[in-house]
Amino acid sequence: MTQEQRERKLRQQIHGLRVKKFHWPLEAFKFIIKGLGYGDSLTKLSEDKLLEIKSLMLKYRNHGRPLEYNYDRQGKYMHALMKQAGWTEPHLRAFLFKRYSKSHWNLLDQNERKAVIAMFRTYIDQANTNAQTNKQTDPKEDSHE
């Protein structure tokens, strides 16, 4: 079997895992491998890199636990704030990629973690302030007097 044939077979196996094991759409998969530093195309990768990706995918174990159990103690607090702020897990992951070039909370250093928590607190405080302001200026409530 030539190197080209081995690479083609590896790409097929990787896409098979993508679909059967993870149920990832192609665009999500491209986003993930690009975030891991492999670029956005499997055809441009060498056999060694393809073997690395396949190995990562085979080692990854999906579990049935809630998402907040993927975090340490401080991460669980951040997760609760994230939910209060109205964010979802994909929004958080995209933010972490864009802002810190990291794919998960557990990869952040202490200063980055503090910054994310402070950001969520600010969002929650702003939402609470806006809710109180709207409640005080609501004309429907004034008409009941």
Give pLDDT tens digits for 41-97: 999 999 999 999 999 888 876 655 555 557 888 988 999 999 999 998 888 988 998
Residue where the block lists tokens 């896409």: 15
The pLDDT of 101-108, averaged and rounded, is 86
Separation of first and last alpha carbons in the chain = 85
Structure pTM? 0.49
Of the chain, the percentage scoring pLDDT greater than 90 comes to 44
Q: For residue 15, is pLDDT > 90?
A: yes
Amino acid present at 58: L
Model confidence at 139, pLDDT cuts 50, 70, 90, reads: low
Please count the helices (runs of H) and the strands (runs of E) in the chain.
Answer: 7, 0
Query: If we measure between CA atoms, which residue out of 140, 144, 56 comes closest to residue 103?
Result: 56
To the nearest whole number, what is the mean pLDDT of the chain?
A: 86
* Residue boundaries of the structural domains of the chain: 3-59, 67-139
Query: If we measure between CA atoms, which residue out of 31, 116, 132 comes closest to residue 81?
Result: 116
Distances (CA, A) of 30 to 17, 38, 64, 67, 110: 14, 9, 24, 22, 29
